[in-house]
Amino acid sequence: MIAALVAWFVADLVSVAANRIVPGEGVATLDAIGWGGVLAGSLAMLAVAILGFRPNPRKYRAALIVTVTMLMALPAVLALAAARLADSDMPQARLGIGPGFWVVLFVTLLAMIELRTRLGVSRLNGWVLMLPVVLSWWLCLSLWLAPLALLQEFRGRSDQFVSAVLYHLALVGAAVGTSLVLGVALALAMRRFPTLQRAGFGVLNFLQTIPSLALFGLLLAPLAWLAANVEWVSTLGVRGIGWAPALIALVAYSLLPMVRNTFVALSQVDPGVIESARGMGMSHVQVFLQVRLPLALPVMLEGVRITTVQAIGLTAVAALIGAGGLGGFIFQGLGQAAMDLVLLGALPILGMALVADALLGALSERLRPGGAK
């Protein structure tokens, strides 16, 4: 919180640029939102810091309310800054989000998560807590934040954006789906044939070590050759560049966590449970379907979670070899030094990773025997 306070005063809250290409000029918090706003923000942060000093549940609850309120107020701060700094002479002006704002946002979010865990708020209530925050952001974004550069970038290519998100998700989905099927099959085969186990894990570990950029690169040449020389491959749409190498590499990376978790999950089921199931007269198939699989499911889902989060990030890299998706915005933005375009690509990727992580984590928690129902 102290860090946030420092950032609040020292770092630039927003930047204003005449147009997209010109780098923005920093504007300190004080100039951006005026004395009243600064005072209100500082008071809120001080309050959280003081409430955290000699903690007890009641103070935590109060602090939580303050942080949630702050999160709701932050977009309004931006809107205020936009209104104060907007210049009618320059309709092209853009408002960038400065480091000061990021730090405050980050620290406040952290404080909220921390308070939520300390208070032991249930998952459902946690989401309910987030609802007003999301609502407030959405409201401010759609009503008052027109000059925000990020939004302008978005408006400039909203169709592209939607299709990029969908494409990104499709690629991740295809990769995770393929590796789920392959991974489970491979894990089962390894359990049946122990000799396969060493070799299999050796190869998968090896693949995991090779950096993504290098693997994408290494796949280019053979795929290009295949596309050029084998007719049915090229009719499938496979090229050296594009979705094919991306998908292959994604599956290659995804297999290790998938196989490892499936294998471990199936192996670690208490042998006593299996023995007693057999002793009751359950057949092999029954034991597998009714005992082993349900008990192994949470750990397997953990594998799916790791794989999905990893694939979301790797798909972004795949944009470099022309696979498209949100990574395209990032590298396009980096190429044009348009930072807000980079953000337009990076923020949704971050969001997708966090949401996938939370959802799959919650699901595996639920499936755990005795987990929250």
Partner 1 sequence: MNEHGVQWRANRALRHWRLPLAWLVLLTALTVGMAELESVFRWVEADSRQVIYDRADFVTLLGRHLLVVSVASLLATLIGVSAAIAVTRHAGQDFLPLVAQIASMGQTFPPVAVLALAVPVLGFGTLPIIVALLLYGLLPIVRNTLAGLQGIEPSILEAARGMGMSGGQVLRQVELPLAAPVILAGIRTSVTVSIATAALGATVGASNLGDPIISGIVNGNTAYILQGALMIGLLALTVDSTFERLTVRRISR
Residues in contact with partner 1 by the rule CB under 8 A? 99, 102, 110, 113-114, 117-118, 206, 209-218, 220-221, 224, 240-241, 309-310, 312-314, 316-317, 320-322, 327, 330-331, 333-335, 337, 339, 342-343, 345-346, 349-350, 353-354, 357
CB of 335 to partner 1, least distance (A): 8
**DSSP one-letter string for 253-300:** HHHHHHHHHHHHHHH-S-HHHHHHHHHTT--HHHIIIIIIHHHHHHHH
Shorter beta-carbon distance to partner 1: residue 76 or 224: 224
CB of 132 to partner 1, least distance (A): 22
Shorter beta-carbon distance to partner 1: residue 39 or 218: 218
Shorter beta-carbon distance to partner 1: residue 99 or 286: 99
For 235-269, b where at least 16 C-beta lie within 10 A, e where not — what string?
eeebbbbbbbbbbbbbbbbbbbbbbbbbbebbeeb
CB of 316 to partner 1, least distance (A): 4
CB of 88 to partner 1, least distance (A): 28
Shorter beta-carbon distance to partner 1: residue 97 or 287: 97
Listed residue (92, 81, 79, 82) closest to 152, CA to CA = 92
Shorter beta-carbon distance to partner 1: residue 32 or 219: 219
Residue 126 CA to residue 114 CA, distance in Å, equals 12
How far is CA 47 from each of CA 43, 53, 130, rounded to the nearest angstrom? 6, 10, 21
Q: List, in order, residues 6 or more apart from 65 with CB less than 8 Å away.
A: none
CB of 126 to partner 1, least distance (A): 13
End-to-end C-alpha distance for the chain, whole angstroms = 36
CB of 218 to partner 1, least distance (A): 5
Shorter beta-carbon distance to partner 1: residue 247 or 319: 319
